[in-house]
């Protein structure tokens, strides 16, 4: 006999997940860091370092336009992939649960696509392989993000969100550092990141088994259901809409600049061919800010029971940090920007996922809804080089990126104040 979702309702009417089938929440808290690192290190290394270098090596004169083209096409693939992955995993019924198979399969297919990028020597081949990478790893990331509402009690979600955010930022920034080390051997870098994701995600699934979903009721599927995968009604769920909007605006403002970091350092800051060698230093500076803010903001948010104020302040801080390189286009200016924006973005990552988990429309469609939410995170990161190339080519220089990033970050900060269900 089919049963409904195993989630339970607490005394205050909020949905809480059932106890873990094996291990403890502490084990899950520990494993989410390497799991997120293994995926986000790809988003830090490939679009930020390896892909721009590979595109530049094919046609240096048209690197900005070519990178924008490849990134724009792949961004739409990423936008579609995660909600579809969520729809599929929400409806998966097996003794291994709803998420595990898709997470492992995504890393296997993504690994093969990275190998394809390692072998590519034309812009078309690179573009096709990068689209496949985007789709595959979003099929892993979508179900992985559903772990929070699936298995973590509400009282621990700020801490879990902080650790998940820490893993994401360690991966994204660490990817820039590690990716720069493969600047002279790009194919080997792709192989390294492919193998890392397969190993870590497989171990995550093995050591953190999910409860069986075989007896859960399977919702009917139709063309209407499929189309609704990409839509959450903002009128029926205004809190979800504002949380999504806040994340989308901040991420777009931040990654429109940092996603184009290699070319900015080379051409705007004036570091030339030595730009790639400086990225580890800037990455470590950013990590210092991120780790400090993450370890403070997440647990503090749980302790005082508030989310919005942390998201607001962190978004504003990122916007203010973007002023620095606009008025100080120097090595020192960029270093200050990376530290201060790291503090802001670390605090945001620490709390925003917890906030999102409390405004999801349905307990039976966590992965699908989080897939929609994660469009706001994934799309700006992958689309950033395309947005940046358009701005640079249209407005005649890199400096035009900064006021746009500032405006979007500040608008994202104010969006969270419209959320009513979360303090």
Is pLDDT at 62 greater than 80 in this prediction? Answer: yes
Cα dihedral value 187, 193, 196, 200, nearest 10: -160
pLDDT value at position 12?
A: 41
Closest Cα partner for 121 from 50, 54, 61?
54
The residue among 205 and 100 whose pLDDT is bigger is 205
How far is 144 from 162, CA to CA, in rounded Å? Answer: 15
pLDDT value at position 252?
A: 84
Most confident of 18-27, 145-154, 315-324: 315-324
Residues 24-59: tens digit of each pLDDT: 677 888 888 999 999 999 988 998 889 999 998 998
Element at 9 (helix H, strand E): strand 8-9
Q: Averaged over 393-399, what is the pLDDT?
A: 82
Is pLDDT at 184 greater than 50 in this prediction? Answer: yes
The residue among 360 and 289 whose pLDDT is bigger is 289
How far is 348 from 340, CA to CA, in rounded Å? Answer: 13
SS3 content of the chain, % helix, strand, coil (to 5): 80, 0, 20
Is pLDDT at 417 greater than 60 in this prediction? Answer: yes
pLDDT value at position 369?
A: 66
pLDDT value at position 201?
A: 95
Q: Are 68 and 386 in contact (CB under 8 A)?
A: yes
pLDDT value at position 351?
A: 82
Q: Averaged over 322-331, what is the pLDDT?
A: 94
Is pLDDT at 163 greater than 60 in this prediction? Answer: yes
Element at 16 (helix H, strand E): strand 15-16
As beta bridge partners, residue 216 has 3
DSSP 24-53: -HHHHHHHHHHHHHHHHHHHHHIIIIIHHH
Q: Averaged over 72-82, what is the pLDDT?
A: 78
Q: Averaged over 150-160, what is the pLDDT?
A: 75
**What is the value of pTM for the model shown?**
0.72
Percent pLDDT > 70 in the chain is 83
Residues 217-252: tens digit of each pLDDT: 766 666 666 666 566 677 777 888 888 888 888 888
Q: Averaged over 371-390, what is the pLDDT?
A: 69
How far is 36 from 38, CA to CA, in rounded Å? Answer: 5
Q: Are 48 and 176 in contact (CB under 8 A)?
A: yes
Query: Picking from 39-53, 351-365, 383-397, which range would have the lowest pLDDT averaged per residue?
Result: 351-365
pLDDT value at position 1?
A: 39
């Amino acid at each position: 006999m089919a049963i409904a979702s195993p989630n339970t309702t607490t005394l205050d009417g909020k949905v809480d997940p059932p106890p873990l089938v094996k291990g403890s929440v502490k084990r899950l808290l520990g494993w989410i860091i390497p799991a997120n690192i293994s995926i986000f290190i790809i988003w830090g290394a490939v679009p930020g370092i390896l892909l721009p270098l590979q595109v530049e090596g094919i046609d240096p004169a048209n690197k900005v336009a070519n990178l924008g083209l490849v990134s724009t096409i792949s961004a739409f693939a990423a936008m579609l992939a995660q909600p579809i992955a969520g729809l599929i995993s929400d409806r998966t019924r097996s003794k291994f649960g709803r998420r595990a198979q898709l997470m492992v399969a995504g890393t296997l297919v993504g690994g093969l696509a990275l190998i394809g990028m390692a072998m590519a020597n034309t812009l078309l081949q690179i573009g096709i392989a990068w689209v496949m990478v985007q789709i595959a790893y979003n099929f892993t990331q979508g179900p992985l993000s559903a772990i929070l509402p699936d298995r973590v009690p509400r009282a621990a979600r700020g801490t879990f969100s902080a650790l998940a955010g820490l893993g994401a930022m360690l991966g994204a920034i660490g990817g820039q550092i590690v990716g720069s080390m493969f600047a002279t051997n790009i194919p080997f870098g792709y192989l390294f990141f492919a193998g890392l994701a397969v190993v870590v995600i497989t171990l995550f699934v093995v050591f953190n088994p999910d409860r069986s979903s075989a007896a859960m009721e399977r919702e009917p599927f139709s063309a209407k259901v499929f189309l609704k995968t990409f839509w959450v009604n903002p009128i029926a769920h205004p809190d979800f809409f504002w949380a999504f909007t806040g994340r989308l605006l901040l991420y777009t403002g931040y990654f429109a600049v940092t996603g184009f970091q290699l070319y900015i350092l080379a051409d705007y800051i004036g570091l030339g061919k030595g730009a790639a060698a400086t990225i580890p230093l800037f990455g470590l500076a950013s990590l210092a800010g991120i780790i400090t803010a993450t370890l403070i903001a997440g647990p503090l948010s749980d302790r005082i029971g508030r989310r919005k104020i942390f998201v607001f302040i962190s978004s504003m801080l990122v916007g203010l940090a973007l002023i620095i390189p606009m008025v100080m286009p120097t090595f020192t200016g960029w270093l200050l920007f990376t530290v201060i924006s790291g503090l802001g973005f670390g605090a945001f990552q620490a709390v925003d996922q917890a906030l999102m988990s409390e405004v999801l429309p349905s307990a039976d469609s966590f992965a699908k809804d989080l897939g929609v939410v994660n469009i706001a995170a994934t799309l700006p990161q992958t689309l950033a080089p395309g947005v940046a190339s358009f701005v640079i080519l249209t407005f005649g220089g890199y400096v035009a990126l900064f006021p746009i990033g500032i405006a979007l970050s500040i608008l994202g900060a104010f969006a969270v104040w419209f959320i009513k269900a979360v303090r």
